[in-house]
């Protein structure tokens, strides 16, 4: 009963946060970030149906996102020319159906095997569709892309969709429903067998399941929700180009899911939020955004293989034993020098990339030709790295103490 | 009538012939052990019956139906379940989920994505009963990859018997277990295979003679003798080929 209440509370909280966000941050910029996040959340969660839950490493998931988006834009155009009468609210459904159909087609031959074979086929399909998008200009609009106008549909609850805020509330509905359905899918026979096939496809065969069919169903579901995300994208930007279905977009959704954490349902949501925020906050200040993204990804793979969600969940034991507070100081003592190292390193990168003689960055004025600037940054980075290394043993001891079973700590205290 | 019959069964990998013409009939309800020296083809025989390998020649019939060209999942759905010599489970799923997954198809859930497993009280109760039977009820929530080896063997066995298959194939069910663990496992196997047809591959002769009511001896891909335990013990050819040594050990 308590678990049930917690579950309802969690979903209620999720919906409340989604609904309240634009009340707290109501600038146009903030709404535009929230819309991007909403799209990214659905897209990243759909990707995790493949990789995290089904063990299928796809390099072409943007295909289903993009195709869904393109079809949605075309429906918007038809509405504009009054060729069809359709509700704006259901545009993401058009995207979802497109994603489903594309998923049925591609899944019919690509889900035979997982592993390298699946990954290579997904790469091939991704390349093929991206190339086609520049060839079949009638549908994809070539390099110029296709644009539509979302304001021609009948108003919905008084919303005419001139503003991004209207789009946001529609997106919240779709994000919430999609998240809920993707979560519930994991609790069904098909969803649970997807985990089983991920773990051991051979064993699944010997308990009556065709590993291929199990993968196929997950693949179609993932395509559907990627299409929904694409439909939301079409509504938000009213504009799609070949970039929305190419390998860059496919790669980015992989990064989101991975950085967030593949093994947790909430992981891709965290990843989508982090990457969208990073994109907005950093791309205005630096041209090296992609470099930082790459470094973040490599560091995640090396040090947080279970992603940010995994990092948070690591603290569960310490939290349950009421010893989380013991970690605060060691974290601070390691975190601050690490921050110094990171900021110095970032400044070094920016300075070596600077086109102006004087770089204004993080409140510092750094001269490109001054030895002092370079020396100061190198010193900062070195000091940061040294202090980080010095403080990690202490952090490790604190970590072990916080996670140690009750009895051992008791004995240690006694001695 | 035989529930399973193998006729002229052959399997070769390239030029190497592993199974060289096996004829064998298994009666309904029989507990049948297949013994033989290493490399005799015992596991290969299991792989042929369960569909992991396709035979090079010959026929396999289960209840009068040919198993030729059927993939493993179809053979399983007919009522043949198996365990593996090397533990073969779903390591990241909990012990409970492992058993529940094994129950899904036989309980008619198929590929449904509109039913929530947590609400299927009957299925969850049945999963709990299987866990009780194999003695893992206390380990239900632990990931299967993290439990002890002998527990994983019990889980492996549980997955094979969970679905209520009529014919159960156990490939060295007690391999790698200590004496006391093996004794427990034999008790367990006896209990859970009651009223079912069992074929097992086993090296430990004590266990074979304890569990089996018929034994076949496989040597270099051929069945050289098949009969009741007493006959096999007395068979001179078997003693020469294989048993003498093992029996004097035991």
Q: Which backbone phi and psi does A387 adopt, to 5 degrees?
A: -65, -35
Does the model's pTM come out above 0.90?
A: yes
Q: Does the structural domain A2-303 have CATH classification 1.10.3470?
A: yes
All domains of chain B in start order, with CATH:
1-70+199-250 (3.40.50.300)
A185 touches B: beta carbon within 8 Å: yes
Length of chain B: 250
Comparing CB atoms, the residue among B77, B100, B112 nearest residue A190 is B112
Q: What is the mean pLDDT of chain B?
A: 92
Whether B73 has its CB under 8 Å from any CB of chain A: the answer is: yes
A138 touches chain B (CB under 8 A): no
- Residue B249, pLDDT > 60, answer no
Contacts of A278 (CB under 8 A, 6+ apart): A289, A292, A293, A296
Provide the 3-class DSSP secondary structure of residue A163: coil
Token pair 């955004």 is found at A289
The rounded distance, in Å, linking the Cα atoms of A214 and A218 is 7
Q: Could B93 and A196 be called an inter-chain contact, meaning their C-beta atoms sit closer than 8 Å?
A: yes
- Lowest model confidence (mean pLDDT) among A405-409, B80-84, B90-94: A405-409
The complex's ipTM?
0.94
Of B52, B71, B93, the CB nearest to A195: B93
Using only C-alpha atoms, what is the Rg of chain A?
24
Residue found under tokens 């390298």: A116
User: What are the sequence ranges of the domains in chain A?
Assistant: 2-303, 316-414
Q: Is A182 on the interface with B (CB under 8 A)?
A: no
Q: How far apart are CA A91 and CA A114, in angstroms?
A: 32
Indicate yes or no: CB of B73 within 8 angstroms of CB of A193: no
| Token pair in block for residue A110 | 């690509």
At residue A2, the pLDDT reads 75
Tens digit of each residue's pLDDT, chain A (415 residues): 678 888 899 999 999 999 999 999 989 999 999 999 999 999 999 999 999 999 999 999 999 999 999 999 999 999 988 888 889 999 999 999 999 999 999 999 999 999 999 999 999 999 999 999 999 999 999 989 999 999 888 888 888 888 899 999 999 999 999 999 999 999 999 999 999 999 999 999 999 999 999 999 999 999 999 999 999 999 999 999 999 999 999 999 999 999 999 999 999 999 999 999 999 888 887 888 889 999 999 999 999 999 999 999 999 888 888 888 889 999 999 999 999 999 999 989 988 888 888 888 777 888 888 888 899 999 999 999 999 999 999 999 999 998 888 654 444 444 3
């Amino acid at each position: 009963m308590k678990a049930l209440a917690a579950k309802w509370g969690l979903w209620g909280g999720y919906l409340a946060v989604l609904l309240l966000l634009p009340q707290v941050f109501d600038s146009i910029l903030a709404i535009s970030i929230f819309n991007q996040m909403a799209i990214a959340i659905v897209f990243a969660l759909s990707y995790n149906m493949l990789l995290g839950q089904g063990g299928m490493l796809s390099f072409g998931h943007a295909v289903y996102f993009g195709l869904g988006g393109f079809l949605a834009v075309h429906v918007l155009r038809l509405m504009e020319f009054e060729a069809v009468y359709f509700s704006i609210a259901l545009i993401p459904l058009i995207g979802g159906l497109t994603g489903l159909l594309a998923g049925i087609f591609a899944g019919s031959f690509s889900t035979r095997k997982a592993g390298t074979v699946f990954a290579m086929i997904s790469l091939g399909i991704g390349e093929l569709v991206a190339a086609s998008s520049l060839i079949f200009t009638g549908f994809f609009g070539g390099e110029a892309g296709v644009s539509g106008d979302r304001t021609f549909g009948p108003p919905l609850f008084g919303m005419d969709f001139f503003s991004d805020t209207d789009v946001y509330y529609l997106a919240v509905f779709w994000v919430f429903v999609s998240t809920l359905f993707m979560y519930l899918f994991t609790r069904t026979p098909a969803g649970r067998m997807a985990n089983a096939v991920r773990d051991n496809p051979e064993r699944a065969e010997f308990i009556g399941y065709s590993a291929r069919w199990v993968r196929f169903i997950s693949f179609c579901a993932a395509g559907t929700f990627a299409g929904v995300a694409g439909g939301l994208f079409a509504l938000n930007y009213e504009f799609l180009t070949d970039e929305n279905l190419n390998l860059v977009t496919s790669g980015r959704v992989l990064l989101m899911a991975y950085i967030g954490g593949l093994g947790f349902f909430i992981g891709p949501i965290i990843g989508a939020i982090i990457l969208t925020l990073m994109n907005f906050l950093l791309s205005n200040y630096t041209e090296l955004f992609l470099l930082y993204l790459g470094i973040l990804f490599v560091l995640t793979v090396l040090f947080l293989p279970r992603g940010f969600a995994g990092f948070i969940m690591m603290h569960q034991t310490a939290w349950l034993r009421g010893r989380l507070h013991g970690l605060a100081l060691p974290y601070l003592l390691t975190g601050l020098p690490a921050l110094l190292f990171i900021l110095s390193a970032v400044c070094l990168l920016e300075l070596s990339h600077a086109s102006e003689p004087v770089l204004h960055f993080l409140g510092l004025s750094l001269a490109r030709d001054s030895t002092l600037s370079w020396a100061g940054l190198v010193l900062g980075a070195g000091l940061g790295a040294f202090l980080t290394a010095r403080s990690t043993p202490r952090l490790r001891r604190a970590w072990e103490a916080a996670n140690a079973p009750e009895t051992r700590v008791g004995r240690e205290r006694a001695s | 009538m035989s529930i399973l019959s193998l006729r002229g069964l052959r399997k070769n990998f390239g030029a190497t012939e592993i199974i060289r013409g096996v004829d064998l009939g298994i009666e309904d309800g029989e507990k049948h052990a297949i013994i033989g020296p290493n490399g005799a083809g015992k596991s290969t025989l299991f792989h042929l019956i369960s569909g992991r390998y396709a035979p090079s020649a010959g026929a396999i019939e289960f209840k009068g139906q040919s198993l030729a060209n059927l993939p493993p999942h179809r053979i399983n759905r007919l009522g043949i379940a198996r365990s593996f010599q090397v533990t073969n489970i779903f390591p990241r799923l909990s012990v409970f989920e492992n058993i529940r997954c094994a129950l899904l198809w036989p309980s008619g859930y198929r590929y449904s994505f509109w039913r929530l497993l947590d609400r299927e009280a009957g299925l969850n109760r049945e999963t709990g009963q299987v866990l009780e039977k194999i003695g893992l009820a206390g380990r239900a929530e632990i990931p299967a990859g993290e439990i002890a080896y002998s527990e994983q063997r019990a889980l492996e066995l549980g997955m094979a018997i969970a679905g209520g298959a009529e014919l159960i194939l156990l490939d060295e069910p007690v391999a790698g277990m200590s004496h006391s663990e093996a004794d427990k496992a034999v008790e367990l196997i006896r209990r859970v295979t009651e009223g079912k047809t069992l074929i097992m591959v086993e090296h430990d002769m004590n266990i074979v003679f304890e569990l089996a009511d018929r034994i076949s001896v496989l040597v270099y891909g051929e069945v050289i003798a098949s009969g009741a335990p007493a006959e096999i013990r007395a068979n001179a050819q078997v003693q020469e080929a294989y048993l003498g040594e093992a029996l004097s050990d035991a």
